Homo-oligomer: A and B are copies of this chain.
Amino acid sequence: MNLIYLLDITGTLVFAISGALSASERRLDAFGVLVIAFVTAVGGGTLRDVLIGSTPTAWMKDLNYLYVVLSAVIITYFFKVHLVKLKRTFFLFDTLGIALFTILGVQKTLTFGLSPVIALIMGTVSAVFGGVIRDILCNEVPLIFRKEIYATACVTGAAIYLISFPILGKELATGLTVAIIITIRTIAVRRHWSLPYV
């Protein structure tokens, strides 16, 4: 089990917990919470896999994703009160999650022989569309379309990765990209940065 895989699983866990928390706030039942947690965690990667033609999707071939989501729902059920207090820790893991999902999405898209521009888009799709599908299922306008949180950090990170990867190699490029995404998002949240309206 390599580092990337471990981080992928960590990202999945954090996204699933955040999905389960937001579903339980909306008074969905246990089945609804499970579906929303699952969709938040694997929805972005699934959409990417369907669009690039990599089916069956990743979570069908490796059941660990599923077990991680189930664990996340159980953790949320027992530690809901405590989890809500851990906002700061969560923010860090969540940002780590989007950074990793972006990089994994870029890598996988390049593996399919698609252009770097498409890899950049698919990296962003992997990181943000889980949340978009969650919001659609919960009948809300996706948060990410109204207020910048993730998108710019993902697009910038994906671009940094694509440029630095041939120069620095996989490990260093990953580290650099993660650092930049975390920096952008932390500053963005602290300074209330947001994208202009068109």
- By a beta-carbon cutoff of 8 Å, the part of chain A in contact with chain B is 20, 23-24, 26-33, 35-36, 46, 50-53, 55-57, 60-61, 63, 66, 73, 76-77, 80, 112, 114-115, 117-118, 121, 132, 136-142, 144-148, 151-152, 194-198
Cβ of A65 to closest chain B Cβ, rounded Å: 11
Contact of A60 among B32, B46, B52, B137 (CB under 8 A): B52
Task: Report the copy number of this chain in the oligomer.
Answer: 3
15 CB < 8 A contacts A-B: A26-B141, A28-B141, A28-B146, A29-B148, A29-B196, A31-B144, A32-B145, A46-B51, A50-B50, A50-B51, A56-B118, A60-B114, A60-B118, A66-B121, A139-B141
Nearest Cβ distance between residue A157 and chain B, in whole angstroms? 14
For A35, the closest partner residue in chain B by CB is B145
